[in-house]
């Protein structure tokens, strides 16, 4: 884009990398949610299953970790967007 600083290409490249990582984490979150739904069905069949309960707790922990990574990536993306906006205003 004409008039943009030399930082802009780097910022856009960083933005695309974060979007890629965010897409991967969202796919992982969906996979974990599907797994969690399967555990819910298994718990309906056998509410006293210790094995299913343990797996369910591990999946819940993985879901929380994944959501934390998504939140961090969304914050990182927001900061990059702010830097891009500041660079665009600076070049006007």
Q: Is the per-residue pLDDT at 16 higher than 90?
A: yes
Domains of the chain: 7-91 (1.20.58)
Look up the pTM and report it.
0.85
Share of the chain above pLDDT 90, in %: 82
3 pLDDT band, cuts 50/70/90, is very low
Q: Are 4 and 89 in contact (CB under 8 A)?
A: no
pLDDT tens string 34-60: 999 999 999 999 999 999 999 999 999
Per-residue pLDDT averaged across 12-40, rounded? 98
Give the residue with greater pLDDT, 5 vs 11: 11
Question: What does the pLDDT read at residue 65?
Answer: 99
pLDDT for res 8: 85
């Amino acid at each position: 884009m004409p008039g943009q600083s030399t930082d802009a290409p780097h910022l856009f490249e960083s933005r695309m990398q974060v979007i890629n990582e965010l897409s991967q984490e969202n796919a992982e979150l969906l996979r974990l949610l599907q797994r969690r739904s399967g555990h819910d069905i298994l718990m309906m069949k056998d509410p006293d299953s210790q094995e299913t309960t343990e797996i369910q707790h591990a999946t819940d922990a993985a879901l929380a970790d994944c959501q934390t990574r998504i939140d961090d990536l969304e914050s990182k993306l927001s900061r990059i967007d702010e830097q891009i906006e500041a660079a665009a205003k600076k070049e006007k």
